[in-house]
Amino acid sequence: MSHALRAAAAAATAILLSFAAPVPASAGKADDTLNIAWAGELPTLDRYFNVLREGELVARMVFDSLLTVDPQTFDYKPLLASSYRFVDNRTIEFELRRDVRFHDGEPFDADDVVYTLNLMADPATRVLSRQNVDWIEKVEKIDTHMVRLTMKAPTPLALEYLSGPLLIYPRDYYSKVGSQGMGLRPVGTGPYKVTAFDPGKRIVFEANRAYFDGSPKGRPTIGRIVQRTIPDQNTQIAELLSGGVDWIWNVPNDQAAKLASMPNVVVQNAQTMRFGYLAFDASNRTGHSSPVNDVRVRQAIAHSIDRKTIVKRLVRGASEVIDAVCFPTQFGCVQDVATYDYDPVKAKALLAEAGYPNGLDIEFHAYRDRPVAEAMIGYMKAVGINAKLTYLQYEALRDKVYNGETDFTFMSWGSYSINDAAASVSQFFKGSKDDYARDPQVIGWLEGADSAIDPATRKDLYGKALRRIAEQAYWQPLFTYNVNYVHSKDIAFTPTADEIPRFYAVTWK
Amino acid sequence: MLAYSLKRLLLAVLVAVTVSVGSFALLRAAGDPAVAMAGHSATASDIEFIRETYGFNRPLPVQYADWLVKALQGDFGESLYFRMPVSRMLADKLPTTMTLGGLALAFALCVGLPLGIIAAIRPNSWIDRTALLISVTGQAMPTFWFALVLVVLFSITFPLLPPSGSGTWKHFVMPTVVLGYYATPAIMRLTRAGMLEVLASDYIRTARAKGLHPAVVLLKHALRNAVIPVVSLSAVQFGFMLGGSVVVETVFALHGTGQLAWESISRSDLPTVQAIVLVLSSFYVVLSLIADLLNAWLDPRIRVA
C-alpha cells in the first residue's frame, strides 16, 4: 500500500472512531448468541490439517486432549485422562475418564486414543505439523480405560504436545468420514459442537450440554457462538460498534486506545509468547564476508538500538524488552545473560575496534512491523551503520533465510505457544536450516537439554546455551509482542499469554 | 465479417493463454507455495514434505502443462488451501461477484447516462461542472475509503444498513454504490462526449428544423447514436468490475471471487488463483470480443481495418 493510501486508511479509521458515538448494547446477549469475528479463513476444522492460530481456538472448543495446561500457572492437568504416570523416561501410562461421550453419542475409550495417536504419528497420514507427533513410537491399549504411550526417545515436550495439539478423535466416525468429513462436520468431546461450517466464511457452535463434569475447561455457559470471517479490520470495528459482533482481536494499538474510551466496549491488552529479534550471520553462511561475521559489529548493532523507546513509542501495550532468546515464562529461559543497553558511544567504539571507524554498509531484511524496522535503521544510522532494508513477504524471506542468503534480519517467533525453551532457542541454534550461528558448543548443550528429562539438568544446559548466545550476540532479542482484544461489555473474557482465546470459558455479565 | 471474427477470436484465445502463463510465472516468483501452505511456524522438514507431496519440486513448465490440460477438461484441481475442488468454490462464490457486478453496472448506467445527457445539453453550465466534479471525485477517491465513509454514515451514525456480509438485499446496497460509483465517470464522460458530437451533426439540425419535439430529437435521434460506444464500454466495465471488486468484497466481507483471489494469492494457492484468473480473464476477453464484433457490425469501416 502506498503512503497516500495508508494515510487515507488512517483518516478513514479516525472518522470511523470519531463519528461512532452511539454504541448499542450487544445484540447477542438477548438471544444467548456470542458473535465473534476474525480475519483468518479456516480451510478445514480438522486441526491436524490446518496451521492457522484460529484453528487452535476452534480446536479447543470442539475437541479435548488427554491433558491440558492451565493458561495462568502453566501446570499440566488431566483432561480426557483421569490420571497419568511416567513408567520410565520413555513410557507414560494414562488412566482414562469413563464419563465422556463424543458429540455423536459414542462413548470415549482407549480405542479412540490408540487409533488417533497412532494414525497421526504415522508419516503416511501427512499431518502438517510433524514435530507434534513424530516423537511418538506407539500407543497401546492396556484395557478399555488404560493406554500406554511409548516415545522414540525421551521427550521433554511430551506433556506439552499431549495437552495441546494432540486432540483425540472418535475412531468410528473418523475412520468412516476421514479428514475431509471431519474438516466439515467435526465430532469431538469438547465443550462446544459445530452445527454449521461454511469454509472461510462462518462457523456456528452450540454448547455441548452433555460436557463432562469436572473438566478443567469447565462447562460451557453461552448457548451459541457464531464466528464470521471479516478480512478488513475497519469493518470488524464497524461491526463491533454497530453491535453486529461482540468480540474481535489483533486491533492495532492506536485504534484500540480510541475504542477504549467508548461506552460498552472493553479493550484488553495482553503480552504474547511471540517475540521479535535481530538475527546475524555469525558463521558466514552466505559465503560472502559480511561485517556481522565479527562479534564486535554484532554487539555494536545491539548497543546502537534503543529497544526501550521502541517498545514505549511503537510496539506499546504490555510488550517488554527481552535479552535472552526465549519468552521469559518458558521453562529454561534463564535471564542472567549478557545485555546490550542503548549506548551509541560504546557502539561507535566497538565499530572502530572492529576496523570500521567510518561506519559500514549492510543488507537488512524484514517482513513485518515496518515502522519498527525503520526506527532501528534510524538508530543504526546514528552510529554510522547504513542498513539497506529489503522488505519481503514472509514466505519469500523465509526461503532466503533457509537458503543461507541473509546477513542480517529482523524476524519474530511465537514458539507454537509452547511454554518451554525447547520451542524457542532449540528451534534456531541446533544446526538446522535456521541456524546462522553454527556453534558446536551451543548445539551440544541444546541437544542435551532437549533429550534430558531431569528439569535441573535441562535448565542448566539451556542456561549455558542462552548465555553463550547472548555473549556472542548471535541474535539480539528485541521485545515481546502484545495483542489487543476488543469486546462488548456484556461478556467476561480473560486473555492468556499463549494467545489462545478460550471462548468456551466466556460468560455473559 | 467471418475472417474478421475469426481473427478476433484467435486473438482473444491468445490473450487468455498469455494472461494465465503470466500469472503462473508471477505467482511462482512471489514465493514458495510449500512455505505458504505450511504456515509461519513450520519447520524446514515440514516444508520439504509438503513440497514433495504436491509436486512443487517438478520443473515449472511441467507443472503448468499439467494444469492447463486438466483445466481445458473443466478440472481446475483441488485448492491447496481448502482441499476441495476449485470448481465447487467458484460455483459458490461467482454468484456473489456477478450479482455485485451486475448491480454496480446498473447503478453506474442509471447515474452516468442521465448525468452525461444533461451535461451535453448544457455544456459548461453549472450542471456540467457538477457532473465533472462528481466524475473527478469518483476517479480520485480510493474505493475502500469511500466504503468506510458509507459504513460510518449508514451503519453507525444512522444504523440503517449492515456493515458487512451478504445475507440480504440490504447487504448489497453499499457495495453496489461504491463499486458502481467507480465506473460512473467513464460512462458519464463518454455519454457526454458522444452526445455533444451527435448534437452538433447535420441530421440533428434537420430533425430540429422539421419541428420535432426536443425530447424526441434528444432521445430518439441523438441518444441512439451516441450510446453505441457506451454499450461496448459497459461490456468492458462489467468485466472490469468482476475482476476489480477485490477491495469492495474485502471491506464488506462479501466472500466473492475477488476476495478469494486476493486471499489465494497471499496463500500461494496456485490452483485457485489460476482458475480465477482464467475464468475472469475469459469473461473479460469474451465481453471485449462481443463489444468488438458489435462495433464491427454497426460500423463496416472497422471490419476492413
pLDDT(A211) > 50: yes
Mean pLDDT of A23-51: 84
Whether residues B31 and A11 touch (CB distance < 8 A) is answered with: no
Domain identity same for A346 and A441: yes
Among A32, A26, A35, A37, CA closest to A490: A26
Mutate to test the interface with A, among B57, B154, B155 (most CBs of A within 10 A): B155
User: What's the confidence (pLDDT) of residue B63?
Assistant: 84
Å between A326 CA and nearest CA of chain B = 15
Q: Where is A445: in which H helix or E strand?
A: helix A440-451
pLDDT band at B167 (very low <50, low <70, confident <90, very high): confident
C-alpha distance from residue A13 to each of A235, A370, B174 (Å)? 10, 20, 18
Domain identity same for A41 and A161: yes
- Tell the burial category of A145 from Cβ atoms under 10 Å away from its Cβ (0-12, 13-18, 19+): middle
Residue range(s) defining the domain that contains residue A447: 272-482
User: What's the confidence (pLDDT) of residue A1?
Assistant: 41
Residues in CB range of A198: below 8 A, 6 or more apart: none
Would you tell me how many other CB atoms lie within 10 Å of the CB of residue B13? 13
User: What's the confidence (pLDDT) of residue A11?
Assistant: 58
Whether residues B164 and A52 touch (CB distance < 8 A) is answered with: no
pLDDT band at B41 (very low <50, low <70, confident <90, very high): low
- Taking contacts as CB-CB distances below 8 angstroms, the residues of chain A near B32 are 395-396, 399
In whole numbers, what is the pLDDT of chain B averaged over residues?
A: 84
pLDDT band at A147 (very low <50, low <70, confident <90, very high): very high
Mutate to test the interface with A, among B96, B161, B164 (most CBs of A within 10 A): B164
pLDDT(A424) > 70: yes
Three-state SS at A58: helix
The DSSP bridge partners found for residue A485 are A249, A268
Domain identity same for A157 and A280: no
Please give the Cα distance from A20 to B162 (Å, whole number): 15
Domain identity same for A128 and A180: yes
Domain identity same for A456 and A395: yes
pLDDT(B296) > 80: no
Instruction: With respect to residue A109, please indicate whether it lies within any of the assigned structural domains.
Output: yes
pLDDT band at B234 (very low <50, low <70, confident <90, very high): confident
pLDDT(A37) > 70: yes
User: What's the confidence (pLDDT) of residue A9?
Assistant: 58
Higher pLDDT, A10 or B182: B182
Least confident of A134-148, A162-176, B184-198: B184-198
Mean pLDDT of A99-106: 96
Compute the Cα dihedral for A166, A170, A174, A177 and give only its sign: negative
Tell me which residue has cell 483445466: B71
- Taking contacts as CB-CB distances below 8 angstroms, the residues of chain B near A394 are 40
Grid coordinates of B213: 419535439
Whether residues A231 and B253 touch (CB distance < 8 A) is answered with: yes
Contact A319, A270 (CB under 8 A): no
User: What's the confidence (pLDDT) of residue A192?
Assistant: 98
Tell me which residue has cell 476452534: A58
Please give the Cα distance from A365 to A382 (Å, whole number): 19
Mean pLDDT of A94-123: 96
Instruction: With respect to residue A49, please indicate whether it lies within any of the assigned structural domains.
Output: yes
Instruction: With respect to residue A7, please indicate whether it lies within any of the assigned structural domains.
Output: no
Whether residues A15 and B263 touch (CB distance < 8 A) is answered with: no
Please give the Cα distance from A414 to A216 (Å, whole number): 25
- Taking contacts as CB-CB distances below 8 angstroms, the residues of chain B near A399 are 31-32, 35
Please give the Cα distance from B82 to A199 (Å, whole number): 8
- Tell the burial category of A222 from Cβ atoms under 10 Å away from its Cβ (0-12, 13-18, 19+): buried
The DSSP bridge partners found for residue A280 are A408
Whether residues B157 and A9 touch (CB distance < 8 A) is answered with: no
Q: Where is B113: in which H helix or E strand?
A: helix B86-121
Mean pLDDT of A382-411: 91
Buried b (16+ CB within 10 A) or exposed e, A440-478: eebbebbebbbebeeeeebbbbbbbbbbbbbebbbbbbb
Whether residues B44 and A433 touch (CB distance < 8 A) is answered with: yes
Nearest CA in chain B to A10: B145
Instruction: With respect to residue A317, please indicate whether it lies within any of the assigned structural domains.
Output: yes
Write down the ipTM of this complex. 0.79
Nearest CA in chain A to B150: A16
Mean pLDDT of B84-101: 90
- Give per-residue pLDDT as tens, A480-505: 999 999 999 999 999 998 889 999 99
- DSSP characters for A302-341? HHH--HHHHIIIII-TT--B--SSS-TTSBT----S----
**Residue count of chain A:** 509
pLDDT band at A25 (very low <50, low <70, confident <90, very high): very low
Domain identity same for A207 and A290: no
Nearest CA in chain A to B254: A230
Domain identity same for A85 and A191: yes
Among A323, A310, A294, CA closest to A407: A294
The DSSP bridge partners found for residue A178 are none
Least confident of A8-17, A110-119, A241-250: A8-17
Share of chain B above pLDDT 90, in %: 15
Domain identity same for A431 and A314: yes
Q: Where are the alpha helices (DSSP H) in A185-306?
A: 233-241, 253-260, 295-304
Give chain A's radius of gyration (CA, Å). Answer: 24
Å between A200 CA and nearest CA of chain B = 8
- Give per-residue pLDDT as tens, B98-141: 999 999 999 999 999 999 998 988 888 898 898 888 888 877 88
pTM given for the model: 0.83
Among B17, B198, B59, B224, CA closest to B121: B198
Å between A174 CA and nearest CA of chain B = 17
Residue A160: CATH number of its domain:
3.40.190.10
User: Which domains are delineated in chain B?
Assistant: 86-304 (1.10.3720.10)
pLDDT(A21) > 60: no
Q: What is the biggest distance separating any 2 CA atoms in chain A, rounded to whole angstroms?
A: 74
Residue A371: CATH number of its domain:
3.10.105.10
pLDDT band at A246 (very low <50, low <70, confident <90, very high): very high
Contact A417, A274 (CB under 8 A): no
Q: Where are the alpha helices (DSSP H) in A63-188?
A: 110-121, 158-162, 171-184
Among A226, A200, A184, A203, CA closest to A43: A200
Rounded to a whole number of angstroms, the distance between the first and last alpha carbons of chain B is: 11
Among A272, A217, A248, CA closest to A502: A217
User: What's the confidence (pLDDT) of residue A267?
Assistant: 96
Nearest CA in chain A to B158: A22
Please give the Cα distance from B210 to B212 (Å, whole number): 6
Please give the Cα distance from A492 to A221 (Å, whole number): 11
User: What's the confidence (pLDDT) of residue A401?
Assistant: 93
- Facing residue for A129 by CB, picked from B46, B153, B156: B46
Instruction: With respect to residue A21, please indicate whether it lies within any of the assigned structural domains.
Output: no
**Residue count of chain B:** 305
| Separation of CA A279 from chain center | 19
User: What's the confidence (pLDDT) of residue A228?
Assistant: 95
Tell me which residue has cell 504490555: A318
User: What's the confidence (pLDDT) of residue B297?
Assistant: 76
Three-state SS at A239: helix
User: What's the confidence (pLDDT) of residue A222?
Assistant: 96
Amino acid at A434: D
Domain identity same for A224 and A276: no
pLDDT(A440) > 50: yes
User: What's the confidence (pLDDT) of residue B140?
Assistant: 84
Domain identity same for A285 and A148: no
In whole numbers, what is the pLDDT of chain A averaged over residues?
A: 92
- Taking contacts as CB-CB distances below 8 angstroms, the residues of chain B near A228 are 164-165, 253
- Please count the structural domains in chain A: 2
Rounded to a whole number of angstroms, the distance between the first and last alpha carbons of chain A is: 41
Domain identity same for A376 and A451: yes
Instruction: With respect to residue A8, please indicate whether it lies within any of the assigned structural domains.
Output: no
Instruction: With respect to residue A255, please indicate whether it lies within any of the assigned structural domains.
Output: no
User: What's the confidence (pLDDT) of residue A320?
Assistant: 95
Mean pLDDT of A95-103: 96
Whether residues B148 and A244 touch (CB distance < 8 A) is answered with: no
Grid coordinates of A196: 454449521
Higher pLDDT, A306 or B128: A306
Grid coordinates of A481: 509482542
Instruction: With respect to residue A1, please indicate whether it lies within any of the assigned structural domains.
Output: no
